[in-house]
Amino acid sequence: MNQIATPSGRALTCTLFALAVLGCAGGGNVPVSSGVMLGAYVPGGIASLEAQTGRPLALDYRYVTLGASAFPWLADDAAHGRAPLIGLAPGGVTADGIGSGEYDVALTALAIALKTFGNPVALIFIPEPTDCKLTTFYGPNWCATPATISAAAGQYVVAEERAWTIFQQSAPNVRFIVAMEGTAYKSGLWKQFYPGSEFTNYLGMDHRYGGSGPAYDFASDADVKAFWTAVQSSGRSGIVTETCAGPAYEAELISTAAKELPSMPQIAGFVLNANPGGDGCGAPNAAAIAAFKAMAAETYYQAKLQ
């Protein structure tokens, strides 16, 4: 078996399974047309936000659990020129189960279903894998100590490598994203969970600003700065896979990001979390919608997934 050095310095085993398909060299920066892809997450679909924005968006974020077989929204995405951005949520599966091959049939079925879409698809393998709530995926109390965190990171890397290899074989139109919380970049934890550039196309960040103060600036946000640093060392382009702020700051988040992202040329995507409840920051207010519409009108934010 071959071994690969990840940015954390840990040796990543390249299994015979991966060697047979990829020679452990399947990764690659996926180019986008110049600029940044805009997207959004809205439960039930992004058509209403697009109507307010004034044009179709590049990325339509949807959550899917392993074993799902019906994706009626794919046809609508194709009709409107969007790329699906799929967050593959763990549901009841385990990292060890994926890594051992227990879910190969389900992963292959999902890959084949997405291949039939024809156009490029973006897939986040287990959004926010450093979230301590993932007790079914890793096991109870996995966040308890540095040792248990390290063990969980190893589980994730093996599972992600296997899923990546299956998709490379069965659905080459799918682009993989490893997306962690902004706090994982700030703490450095991302390095333990990063499988290496050989096994992903993009590095992603789920970001929520919940602070306070007289003003907000995207590029000055500690999580954003840490993510930008990580992107530059990862060997991959980055995507802000979710971002939102409270009503007092969301318009500033969007407008300052619109001004500052061109100075971060390796960040290729910006996805607004417009979920009115749950993991979002509430529905965007009128000022935030106006800022997002202005951002969407700029040439730099017309990129598409390739």
28-68 pLDDT tens trace: 554 444 799 999 999 889 999 999 999 999 999 999 999 88
What is the number of domains present in the chain?
Answer: 1
- Does residue 294 lie in a domain region? yes
- Does residue 243 lie in a domain region? yes
C-alpha span between 267 and 237 (Å, rounded): 6
Structure tokens that stand for 176 in this block: 């993989």
Structure tokens that stand for 3 in this block: 């071994």
- Does residue 26 lie in a domain region? no
Q: Can you give the pTM of this predicted structure? A: 0.88
What is the residue type of 25?
A
- Does residue 242 lie in a domain region? yes
Local structure of residue 213 (DSSP, 8 states): S
CA distances from 176 to 29, 66, 91, 100 (A): 11, 15, 19, 20
- Does residue 306 lie in a domain region? no
Low-confidence ranges of the chain (pLDDT < 50): 1-27, 30-33
- Does residue 293 lie in a domain region? yes
- Does residue 25 lie in a domain region? no
C-alpha span between 43 and 135 (Å, rounded): 25
- pLDDT per position as a tens digit, 182-198: 999 999 999 999 999 99
Q: The domain containing residue 165 runs over which residues?
A: 2-20+31-301
**For the domain that residue 95 is a member of, what is the CATH number?**
3.20.20.80
- Does residue 238 lie in a domain region? yes
